[in-house]
Structure 1
Amino acid sequence: MGEPVKVGLVGCGTIAKQYLRTIGEQPRLRLTAAADLDPARARAVADATPGVRALTVEELVADPEVDVVLNLTVPAAHAHVAHLAIAAGKDVYGEKPLAVTTTEAREVLDAAAAAGVRVACAPDTVLGTGVQTARAAIDSGAIGRPSAAVATMISAGPERWHPDPDFYYVAGGGPLMDMGPYYITALVTLLGPVTSVVGAAARARATRVIGSGPRAGQTIPVSVDTHVTGALTHESGAMSTLVMSFDAVATRAPNIEVHGDRGSLVVPDPNRFDGEVLLCELSGDGWRTLPVGGGYAQAGRGVGLADLAATPPDVEPRAGGRLAFHVLDVMEALLASARSGQAVAVSSTCERPRPVPYGQTP
């Protein structure tokens, strides 16, 4: 396997803890440096991990002991940090979305291509056993020809539990940009790329109240739509219905259902790596749980980074930049359709990511 890929972490906030756990468990990866706008956060990571140095962002991207930059900053900073890393000749793995806009995201991908480095992006949850088992069932013909899917995410909003939720309610946030990547990436993994969309959007209120942490009770403004719904037409001919909301309390709808002419699947939460996949066949007797049929076992956030490290340079990683760009393009098209009231063509496309055979390790 050779020497581990040396990782420099930029952004040591809430989500970093999950990535650090995965990096510590992956022999292909070794954390060597950490940076954050708050130097104390970077020092805390360095103090907790032997061999890790706390640096500035500029020092980190220039450091020869960093092969790949793990970009866990807020969405508005994703493109900026990616460009710094690319200019220094580093591969980049970022949190979703790839950038706030497709214009910024295209500039990132073009810069990476020109520099001969690679870009990959969360979510990597679709590489776990949940979505990959559903994919294996679809690919095996278990539901026949896929014709439709329904994806639903309903919640009251992250301000109830997140101590600094401001970024959820500015450009690059909202339920679509925050949670949509999980669901749309899963839909593309299961059914292939999207060619056109019809969307509608609204926001229930102009402010939100932080519910936890030192800022509990503070009011923050809302500048993005907080309920987005849409119809997606896939290149394959299948159609998906999407509902993403921070304006409701709960739902009993499955996270994702996929329907074909011979059966239907219930797909587990695409914000998780595992979960049961249920199949109901036209010729069968109700729902049954499928055995695990694909995916990285016991995966956690950061397995996409390990997948990038294991992928040959001339092969697109499974959580690659082209997929992330297409997902962002679909989301941007949905919001454009909501504004115009008309169907919008999705100009980009991508390859359906390679499946993950069960038992494979990155």
Structure 2
Amino acid sequence: MTQHRLGNFIHDKMESILQAWEDFARTIEPPALTMDDTELRDHARQMLTAFASDLATAQSERERSAKSKGLGKRGPDDTAAEIHAEARLLSGYTVVQLVSEYRALRSSVLTLWAADVGDAGTPNMGDVTRFNEAVDQALAESVARYEFMVKQSQNMFLAILGHDLRNPLGTVVTGSNFLMQAVDIPPRYVLVATRMFNSAKRMSKLINDLIDFTRTHLGPGIPIQVKLGNLVGVCEEVVDEMRTYHPERLIELHVPAKIEAIFDESRLAQVLSNLIGNAIQYGTPDEPVSVRLAGDGDDVVVTINNRGAPIAVDHIRTIFDPMVRIAANAGIADSGYMERTSLGIGLYISRQIVHSHGGTVGVESNAADGTTFTMTMPRLPAGFRS
């Protein structure tokens, strides 16, 4: 019997395959509102042509294995699968609907081929395997592009939202601060204004965190503006601020007389505020929070310790990852050191800021010693060294 080759069949029966695939695509909701019939077929035609060409190309076992995992070689240009994913996203398709199209395309080709072969010949089973590998590669490319576009859109939305909220929130802060200083209004109004001011400042911190988070995903990272300064002064200023916010807590500060370094004062203050705030939130109320600054050769080291329930071992590995604490809180009860009153990105942003200074930040936690965050940073960034 004559062997029927799948690649030849795809070329010969292209229109029949496209029609079967289009019939399925039209059953998916929402319909492809942004694509006409020609565009709807065009992506599938390009992918089918690529499949047929792939079937006619000799491949090693390693290359076939890589393709079955979605890791096949590719050129510099976008593939038809990636272009198709972008079009489907713009048309309102979910990733589940996108995947179902590939399932339908695979089924259409193999079903029509089996019917065409019938009793007249023998199908080449190697072609079936190669075809499935090619479809798997296209599916992996399509899903990866779809996910990338979704994340990019989400981050852009967050960046725009955070930026646009700054002005009206600034008005609330300014107005409430003005009322707080008034001497000709009843005390109860001053109390309300104070609460408004404190709430607006907390919202402002969340918005700033949100903007910093999107910067790390959309651009080169969190910007820093470094200059020579005294780290001791920054530590003292932040600790005094935290003492004012939390008069019920004891915050111990251990610093030398002076440590000069080149750094971004406002960004390092942001890191210290985040780390000390976490220590206060999760430390035992009747135990002090300890902040230590020391010089260690060419580096400066800041340690922040609190006593209390240690961080669970499985949380240590992901504590600096963004949004992990939100996901954990959604599924389980709070079981330790998790940010309950923030977006879950404060520690992530702190790490990014420290990394921007050429430093590192880590955490150790146990029942005997409590929880200690350690930030190590060079006094002189790499770009300033002679």
Task: Output the TM-score relative to the length of structure 1.
Answer: 0.25
Structure with bigger strand share is: 1
Task: Output the TM-score relative to the length of structure 2.
Answer: 0.24
Q: Larger relative CO (CA 8 A, sep 6+): 1 or 2?
A: 1
Structure with bigger helix share is: 2
